[in-house]
Amino acid sequence: MTRPSLIAGNWKMNGMLADARALAKAIAGGHRPAAGNRSDVVLCPPAPLLLAVGEALAGSAVALGGQDCHAKPSGAFTGDVSARLLADIGCRYVIVGHSERRTLHGESDATVRAKAEAALAAGLIAIICVGETLAEREAGATASVLERQIDGSVPAAAAAATTVVAYEPVWAIGTGKVATTAQVAEAHGGLRRRLARNHADGGEFRLLYGGSVKPDNAGELLALPDVDGALVGGASLDAGQFLAIVAAARG
């Protein structure tokens, strides 16, 4: 397996300045990868906390990422943040197309793709999220929904070095209901095949699982052959839990 693992912490709209600094310092201080370990770890705090968290992570093996970006490089877009600005202040990653953005902010596959294109243009690694709702799963539409999202959300120019895909079944996010290893293996296998059909190095894209990842289930999820890491929400707000998930990832 040549793909280095990636564990991403998505803090969502949580934390105040002092908590964020303390949490980032605890995670940075506790993550001491052995020599030769190529795994990546990234924290994605709320936008106003990026600079402070970046300072707390300076000199550590933990990278900084945004939770969203605008598709345009600058302009009259009140409240939005450009991918260029994220890169300029020290981010290496940005999450795009999280289901909370797709659902609560009405983001379509085309919007997500435009944001991912902006991320790539800014030199960021895009973490593009996909995932079916419970209704779609129960209707037997999981595979077709994931294919549609991959085809519509992943830029044609995306490549394994610049793009990560996170499979996050909507029904497993923040619910404590983790997908079974069989469900994850099937979804990731389908994503891998779809990416390989669409991109020359599609077989090498890193695929993350997200949705109620905790220290007690991370080991079995991260051991699946097509799971290259995790996108962690709730458990990333606790340094001990997040570091335990990082420790469960392969090097």
Indicate whether 5 belongs to the interface with ligand PGA (CB under 6 A).
Answer: no
Stretch that binds ligand PGA, among 32-40, 60-68, 148-156, 168-176 (CB under 6 A): 168-176
Question: In the complex, which residue's CB is closest to ligand PGA?
Answer: 233
Shorter beta-carbon distance to ligand PGA: residue 32 or 177: 177
Q: Maximum CA pair distance of the chain? A: 48
Cβ–Cβ < 8 Å for 99, 68 = no
Determine the Cα–Cα distance for residues 10 and 6; give it in Å rounded to an integer: 13
| 174 scored as a contact of ligand PGA (CB under 6 A) | yes
- If binding is defined by CB under 6 A, does position 212 make contact with ligand PGA? yes
Q: How many helices (H) and strands (E) would you count in the chain? A: 10, 8
| Count, residues near ligand PGA per rule CB under 6 A | 13
In which element (H, E) is residue 55 found?
helix 50-57
Identity of the residue, 109 or 168, whose beta carbon is nearer to ligand PGA in the bound complex = 168
Q: Which residues are catalytic?
A: 98, 168
The reply to whether 202 sits near ligand PGA by the rule CB under 6 A is no
Contact stretch for ligand PGA (CB under 6 A) within 80-88, 142-150, 196-204, 232-240? 232-240
Q: At what angle do helices 50-57 and 17-30 cross, to 10 degrees?
A: 30
Please list, in sequence order, all residues whose beta carbon lies within 8 angstroms of the beta carbon of residue 41, skipping any fewer than 6 positions away: 6, 7, 8, 9, 27, 31, 61, 62, 63, 246
Binding site for ligand PGA (CB under 6 A): 10, 168, 173-174, 210-213, 231-235
